[in-house]
Amino acid sequence: MCPSKVADGGERGWIVPIGGAENKEDNPRILKRFLDLCGGRDAEIVVIPTASQLADTGSRYEGIFGDLGAGRVDVLDFDTRRDCHEQNRLDRIESASGIFFTGGNQLRLSTILGGTPAAKLIRERNAAGITVGGTSAGASILSEHMIGFGKEGASPQADSVRLAPGLGLTNRFIIDQHFRQRDRLGRLVAALAYNPFAIGIGLDEDTAAFIGPDNTLEVEGSGAVTVVDADGLTFSSMAQVSENKPVCLLGLTVHILVAGATFNLHTRKASAGSLA
């Protein structure tokens, strides 16, 4: 699940995790910006609704992107791991200018796509420059380390999160979604206690992190993005505590970003951006 290597002289495509419940009708600015990055009216979008078990999820996003002006939208629903080996599906991913994962259950995504030719090809296509995004569960799957499930609450506990392998477009961050609405700070911080290398990104609903080829995160939407950086961690009790017990963590840095603010995932520096 390691990220694919960007070719010499090439540029990785945008990665666009969305916190779920994005505005789809009155002001669909997140989905419109995603579409613009994929080519606007020339965009060829592949929608992957595998995380959802609702029959109309794929067709709903097909209609939304069509109404926003996409040149072509195809729904590829991988129901089994065998589907992820079919050449006609792989060919459609190969020709797409953008790939979008819907919400649902991220473990359904990881158990069906994980380790298959489809997953490998999506990583390769993002490394080659195409935009890949997803909402809710479709956001969680994008990184190498994925939150499978966990407990609500503001304080991290030793058993408050379970991690699983994600799609692996990048290993720089761990994503959580519906963040403020479902009180998920504790489980994101617990995930960082297991893996302090990564940066925690908590996405509110109707809020997205547009992560460019230069590893700069730009916030879009009506909510906030909570960035938790464990680079300065000086102490963690994670290895000492038992289940149901709180974890002591010293030296965390937290940023609250709204639309217009940015965070550089390479330098780990936040900026007020256009807000200043």
Tell me which residue has tokens 């963590």.
Answer: 249
Residues 13, 45, 170, CA angle at the centre, nearest 5°? 30
| Residues composing the chain | 276
Catalytic residue flag (residue 22): no
If we measure between CA atoms, which residue out of 119, 60, 54 comes closest to residue 85? 119
- d(C-alpha 133, C-alpha 142), whole Å: 8
Angle 26-28-29 from CA coordinates, rounded to 5°: 125
205 is catalytic: yes
Among all chains, which residue has been given the structure tokens 């390479």? 266
Select which of 62, 97, 178, 236 is catalytic.
Answer: 178
Residue type at 19 in one-letter notation: G
- Terminal CA-CA length for the chain: 38
Cα pseudo-dihedral 256, 243, 151, 251, rounded to 10: 0
Catalytic position from the list 62, 144, 205, 218: 205
Q: Which of 136, 140, 143, 160 is catalytic?
A: 136
Neighbours of 6 (CB within 10 A): 15
Q: How many whole angstroms separate alpha carbon 108 and alpha carbon 116?
A: 14
Q: Which residues sit opposite 235 in a β-bridge? A: 250
Enzyme catalytic residues: 136, 178, 205
